[in-house]
Amino acid sequence: MTTWTDTVAAAATLLAAAGVHSPRNDAELLAAHVSGLTRAQLLIADGPDERQRAEFDALVARRAAREPLQHLTGSAAFRYGELAVGPGVFVPRPETELLVDWALAHLPEGGTVIDACSGSGAVAYSIATERPDARVWAVEVDPDAFEWLESNLEGTNAVPVLADATAASTLNELDGLADLVTANPPYVPFEIEVAPEVEFDPSGAVYAAEAGLAVIQPLAVRAAKWLKPGGWFGFEHDDTHGTVAPEILRVSGFTDAEDHDDLAGRPRFATGRLGLLP
């Protein structure tokens, strides 16, 4: 009988040939998903039975076609939790954890947070679970993504809101009251080449007109309305926006505008503080 170790090794070779960035990791995670074993247990486990082998081979073939691993397993690891994801919602990336680190460092005790363009709810979920003292609203405009958002926020104190985050009427009862606004909006310019896996994300969660700024610009204006003087706004952007993103903050009434790199040294997110009243 072929062992799980042999089965995973063969799958990793196939995934590597297909251009998958982390073939061994993905093969092991798919094997763990199918078998119900941990990755460590797979090393000494008997081989897959006929049903498991058929299921595993089918998933490996889909991953080789560059369908996201998270769609195949139904979940995405993010910080200290697992989020349910699948077709219709943007798969959260590890880089976004840096935005959460920044947000938690700038959130006062008992603060009010609005997470715009919330998608799966990754940022809102992390803030709500790591800072249960905070009041968190998560805004998402796409009905399909909103279903994932609602599911992921169950059991937290975060409130899902189906609405356009850039609209003046959205959560206008919180205007001037928020301490922190976060966002991972669509920001990829149309002409940018993306990884094949991105094609499985909803296009409306990825692309934002030619320059990639179609949502960021009005969102900065809306964030300035939500925030109390001295409140903070942080948002992700394309790595081509390292200069323009802080400038958008400045012209929208923010001070202390700066850009932050990800762990690979690429511009990743911009932050600013709403100017204090004289």
Q: Does the annotation flag 187 for ligand binding?
A: yes
Structure-block tokens of residue 183: 């966002």
**Contacts for 42-45: CB closer than 8 Å, 24+ residues apart:** 42/4, 42/5, 42/8, 43/4, 43/5, 45/3, 45/4
Q: Categorise residue 40: left if φ over 0, alpha if ψ from -120 to 50, beta otherwise.
A: alpha
Burial 88-113 (b: 16+ CB within 10 A, else e): bbbbbeeebbbbbebbeebbeeebbb
Q: Does the annotation flag 185 for ligand binding?
A: yes
Distance CA 158, CA 137 (A): 6
Distance CA 81, CA 59 (A): 23
Structure-block tokens of residue 194: 């993306």
Distance CA 103, CA 107 (A): 6
Q: Does the annotation flag 207 for ligand binding?
A: no
Distance CA 29, CA 162 (A): 33
Q: Does the annotation flag 184 for ligand binding?
A: yes
Point out the annotated binding site.
Answer: 140, 184-187
Point out the annotated binding site for S-adenosyl-L-methionine.
Answer: 140, 184
Point out the annotated binding site for substrate.
Answer: 184-187
